[in-house]
Chain A
Amino acid sequence: MFYREAGQFKTSYRSDQALFPILQDKIGIVLLLAVAFIGVPLTASEFVIDSFITPILILSLAAIGLNLLTGYTGLLSLGTGAFMGVGAFSCYKLTTFFPGVNIIVLIICSGFFAAAAGIVFGLPSLRIKGFYLTVATLAAQFFLSWCFIRVPWLYNYNISASIEVPERMLFGIPVTGPTATVITRYLIVLTIVSVMTWLASNLIRGRIGRTWMAVRDMDIAAELIGIKLYPTKLLAFAVSSFYCGVAGAMLVFLYLGNAESESFSINQSFLVLFMVIIGGLGSLLGSFFGAALIYGLPIVLRMVKEGLGIPVTSATLEHVNFIVLGTLIILFLIAEPAGLARLWQIGKQKLRVWPFPY
């Protein structure tokens, strides 16, 4: 009844191709951002922000990165964790070399290192396709995680083989390190994630995104209509790794505080892949849904158990968690293989025609 575009006439291509062509969507996104930037810091407790919202935002960015590669270009990668690690470790080295430089600039810069790593490991993608490529990206995962352990230079010869985030100021306010407040870190994460999501959505609506989708749908046909496959695929690898790298740097600098190679293991790659597939391949919004579900589910399960007061050992709980997570993954896939984003679309469509069935 309220969500209806009747009467909103487009008089130019520009307005027709706008990011949010419908007025209600524009209002909705402004409200959402207002809540996220003003409402959440004022009302939500630090616990909720620190254990839910910040990590979910960061992981959403990683999921968006993988989605650009897997969902939009059709190249399935299992090296996400390693590319996040490249971002984190290069950010750490950068801030060691240039302690005076604004940390946010360094976080963004570390994305370029991850992009370079992505290009190197994307090189086989022209000749190798499908699941063969997936396994080939595992080479990146294992080689890079090995580097994170065996190259002591990367963690400044720290005995514990981990990187610890130094304190960095921004306009006189500590933004990283132990003294930075939860709210400050949340706001910075939110800003970076919003800007990068906006950039990604413009990227995929433009020429580059269209070439990616053409390659995804059928690469030979794409080549025949004049898309150069190799640069396109490499660009997808580069941009995707850039996003993952920034997410990795944020994960360590703005959330975890310290990290070692284990934080960027193959399990991290799998988790991000789950987020992308459960959220919806080829949907930016889906990346957020997927991250929230996959990250939040184990926490919620634990809370439910505690709330019910069932006396179980933590080991048993862990196993039950595994079973429940596995079952839910399969059930979600059966119920909606196109992901949560599709459910959202269906809901929106229903809302448009409400109260009529169609």
Chain B
Amino acid sequence: MHMLYMIFIDPFVQMGAAPDLLAQTLWEGLVAGVLYALIALGFVLIFKASGVFNFAQGIMVVFAALTLVGLYAHGVPAFLALALTIGVMFLLAMAVERFVLRPLVNQPEIILFMATFGLTYILIGSGELIFGGDPKLMISDQLLLPGGAYQIKMLGGFVQMQKIDIAAAIIASLMVATLAVFFQRTRIGRALRAVADSHRAALSVGISLEYIWVVVWFAAGVVALATGIMWGARSNVSFALEVIALKALPVLILGGFTSIPGAIVGGVIIGIGEKMGEFYWGPLFGSGIEEWFAYVIALIFLLFRPQGLFGERIIERI
């Protein structure tokens, strides 16, 4: 009885008693959610266009951030380093297409999935070999990202908002908007959607798969770079960040593998759910429920919608 009270009544009493804390928790959840959504976005881009479940997306985030910070540490000016990092991500996209995707074309999904594991290992090894494995500070000041925080007086208390979080939210929305326009309005975007629908049909109307793959992997790389800058500004840049990729997976199944809005909405749901769970229900179970709470949320949603919230309806034929 006490347990039931603690699970179903007490957290809500707490929420009512301290609305400012609730608002703070919601805000933090929202920000975390936006960042999860950014990683999920990278996954979705690649999955849509090539059907590859890219496990390396999380490590691409770390790799991009490390390259940026590492170049700056070698004396390259901040914005030049940013441009160079984008260049590196382009080279990476070319290399992946040439040496991984092209030889493995027409293989089962699981083989391509496995290949991205190999890619993950290569990126971990080379990233640490070149830039060292110790945590580094993100150069957020040099990139003109705001620091500090706003204290907003509301609901009888204060809610603290880090400026970098607000910037992250804005940049994420801009990026999603750009991608949406890119997908809907441009020639390449149309080609991408065609490839997503059917590789063979796209080939037969003269769309070059190789070209499209480089474009999506490059887009995913740029998304990874943005994610890396944002995550890096909140904590340090190190390979510990790779666990966030695993955090992004529930977002992915919640939103659906093929939907960009799904990634965003899923990210926000998971982010808020996770922070609320940790804050209000966490003490009941002992700390650390963040690790699996997101998966439980995602699983509950999946039981009702097996293709995720926004995924394309699964139609099966014999």
B252 within 8 A of A: yes
A334 within 8 A of B: yes
Q: Which residues of A contact B316 (CB under 8 A)?
A: 220
Question: Chain A interface mostly helix, strand, loop or mixed?
Answer: helix
Question: Chain B interface mostly helix, strand, loop or mixed?
Answer: helix
Closest chain B residue to A74 by CB distance?
B110
Q: Which residues of A contact B19 (CB under 8 A)?
A: none
* A334 touching B104 in the complex, CB below 8 Å, given contacts A124-B302, A139-B292, A146-B289: yes
Q: Which residues of B contact A266 (CB under 8 A)?
A: 246
Q: How far is the CA of A117 from the CA of B309 in the complex (A)?
A: 28
Specify which of B121, B285, B308 is in contact with A323 (CB 8 Å cutoff). B121
B286 within 8 A of A: yes
Specify which of A70, A143, A330 is in contact with B100 (CB 8 Å cutoff). A330
B129-A316 in contact (CB<8A): yes
Q: Which residues of A contact B107 (CB under 8 A)?
A: 333, 337
Q: How far is the CA of A320 from the CA of B128 in the complex (A)?
A: 9
* A146 touching B249 in the complex, CB below 8 Å, given contacts A329-B115, A330-B99: no
Closest chain A residue to B125 by CB distance?
A322
Closest chain A residue to B251 by CB distance?
A135
A315-344 vs B, CB cutoff 8 Å, 1 = contact: the mask equals 110111111111111100110010000000
Specify which of B109, B111, B298, B307 is in contact with A135 (CB 8 Å cutoff). B298
A142 within 8 A of B: yes
Q: How far is the CA of A218 from the CA of B317 in the complex (A)?
A: 10
Q: Which residues of B contact A315 (CB under 8 A)?
A: 128, 133
B291 within 8 A of A: yes
Q: How far is the CA of A150 from the CA of B284 in the complex (A)?
A: 12
Q: Within residues 129 to 173 of chain A, which ones have a CB less than 8 A from any CB in chain B?
A: 129-132, 134-136, 138-139, 142-143, 145-146, 149-150
Specify which of A134, A138, A319 is in contact with B126 (CB 8 Å cutoff). A319
B302-A337 in contact (CB<8A): no
* A326 touching B104 in the complex, CB below 8 Å, given contacts A132-B302, A135-B252: no
Q: Which residues of A contact B118 (CB under 8 A)?
A: 325-330, 333
B256-291 vs A, CB cutoff 8 Å, 1 = contact: the mask equals 010000000000000000000000000001101101
Closest chain B residue to A322 by CB distance?
B125
Q: Which residues of A contact B246 (CB under 8 A)?
A: 138, 142, 266
A321-B125 in contact (CB<8A): yes
Q: Which residues of A contact B314 (CB under 8 A)?
A: 129
Q: How far is the CA of A165 from the CA of B257 in the complex (A)?
A: 44
Extra A-B contacts (11), CB below 8 Å, given A139-B295, A277-B114: A127-B303, A132-B308, A135-B249, A135-B298, A136-B298, A138-B246, A139-B292, A270-B117, A319-B128, A323-B126, A334-B104
Give residues in A with beta carbon < 8 Å to B: 70, 76, 124, 127-132, 134-136, 138-139, 142-143, 145-146, 149-150, 218, 220-221, 224, 266, 270, 273-274, 277, 281, 315-316, 318-330, 333-334, 337
Top 6 closest pairs, chain A to chain B, by CB: A326-B121, A322-B125, A329-B118, A139-B295, A323-B125, A326-B122
Give residues in B with beta carbon < 8 Å to A: 53, 99-100, 103-104, 107-111, 113-115, 117-126, 128-129, 133, 246, 249-250, 252-253, 257, 285-286, 288-289, 291-292, 295-296, 298-299, 302-303, 306-308, 314, 316-318
Query: Can you list 29 A-B pairs, Cβ within 8 angstroms, ordered by A?
Result: A124-B302, A127-B306, A131-B53, A132-B302, A132-B306, A135-B250, A136-B295, A138-B246, A138-B250, A139-B250, A142-B292, A150-B288, A218-B318, A221-B318, A266-B246, A281-B110, A318-B128, A319-B126, A319-B128, A320-B129, A322-B122, A323-B121, A325-B125, A326-B119, A326-B123, A326-B124, A329-B115, A329-B121, A333-B118
